[in-house]
Chain A
Amino acid sequence: MSATRETERYTVADKAKWSVWSIFQTWEVILLTLLVFVFIVNSNTSPYFLNTYNLADATFNFSEKAIIALPMALVIIMRDIDISVASIIALCSMLMGLGAEAGIGVPGLIMIGLAGGVAAGMFNGFLVTGLGLPAIVVTIGTFTLFRGIAYVVLGDGAVTTYPAGLRFFGQGYVFGIIPFEFILFLLLAMVFGVLLHFTVIGRRIYAIGNNPIAARFTGIAVNRYRFVAFCLVGMMAGLAAVLLTSRIGSTRPNIALGWELEIITMVVLGGVNILGGSGTIPGVVIAVLLVGMVTFGFGLLNIPGIIMTVFIGSLLIITISIPILVQRLRDRARLRAQQAEVGTD
Chain B
Amino acid sequence: MKRIISLAVASAAIFASVASAQAQDVRIAMLVKNLGNGFFDAANKGGQEAADELGNVELIFTAPTAPTAEGQIEIINNLIAQNVDAIVISANDPTALIPATQRAMARGITVISFDSGIAQEGRQMQLNPSNNELIGVKQIQMASDAAGGSGEIAILSATAQATNQNIWIDEMRKELANANRSSLNLVDVVFGDDQSDKSYQEALGLFARFPDLKVIIAPTTVGIAAAAQAVRDEDLVGKVFVTGLGLPSEMAGHVDSGAVESFAIWNPIDLGYTATYAAFQIAQGNATAEPGDSIPVGRMGTLSIGDTGEAAMAEPFTYDASNVNDFKDIF
Which residues of A approach B to under 8 Å, CB–CB? 46, 48, 51, 54, 57-58, 60-61, 151, 155-156, 158, 160, 167, 171, 244, 247-250, 252-258, 295-296, 299-309
Contacts and interface: CB of A to CB of B under 8 A. Distances in A.
A299 B78 contact: yes
B195 interface: no
A305 B77 contact: no
B81 A252 contact: no
Nearest to A296: B78
B121 to A, nearest CB: 11
Contacts of B60: 302
A170 B27 CA distance: 29
A256 B70 contact: yes
B211 to A, nearest CB: 27
Given A58-B77, A303-B11, A250 B95 contact: yes
Interface in B26-47: 29, 35-36
Interface stretch (B61-69, B252-260, B293-301): B61-69
A249 B61 CA distance: 26
Contact of B99 (A171, A299, A301, A307): A171
A54 B70 contact: no
Interface in B86-127: 93, 95-100
Contacts of A309: 65
A139 to B, nearest CB: 20
Nearest to A252: B161
17 contacts: A57-B80, A57-B81, A61-B74, A156-B160, A171-B99, A250-B93, A250-B96, A252-B93, A254-B159, A255-B68, A301-B14, A302-B29, A302-B61, A304-B10, A305-B35, A305-B66, A306-B36
A51 B81 contact: yes
A248 B99 CA distance: 6
B18 interface: yes
A299 B75 contact: yes
B35 A300 contact: no
Given A250-B93, A250-B96, A252-B96, A57 B65 contact: no
Contacts of B80: 57
Given A249-B95, A304-B7, A304-B10, A244 B70 contact: yes
Interface residues of B, number: 40
Interface in B159-215: 159-161, 166
Nearest to B29: A302
A304 B31 CA distance: 11
B306 interface: no
Contact of B69 (A156, A171, A248): A248
Nearest to A51: B81
**Residue picked from A46, A155, A167, A306, most chain B C-beta under 10 Å:** A306
A298 to B, nearest CB: 9
Contacts of B98: 249-250
Interface string B132-164: 000000000000000000000000000111000
Contacts of B77: 57-58, 60-61, 299
Nearest to A156: B160
Contact of A305 (B64, B69, B93, B161): B64
Given A249-B99, A255-B70, A307 B161 contact: no
A304 B11 contact: yes
Nearest to B169: A156
B63 to A, nearest CB: 7
Given A248-B73, A301-B18, A305-B35, A254 B81 contact: no
A253 B128 CA distance: 26
Interface string B49-61: 0000000000011
B95 A254 contact: no
A58 B100 CA distance: 13
B74 A299 contact: yes
A48 B7 CA distance: 25
B308 interface: no
Nearest to B14: A302
A301 B78 CA distance: 9
Given A158-B95, A305-B71, A300 B11 contact: no
A182 to B, nearest CB: 13
B95 A58 contact: no
B35 A48 contact: no
Nearest to A60: B77
A160 B95 contact: yes
B93 A158 contact: yes
B82 interface: yes
Contact of B11 (A58, A253, A307): A307
Interface string B3-14: 000010011001
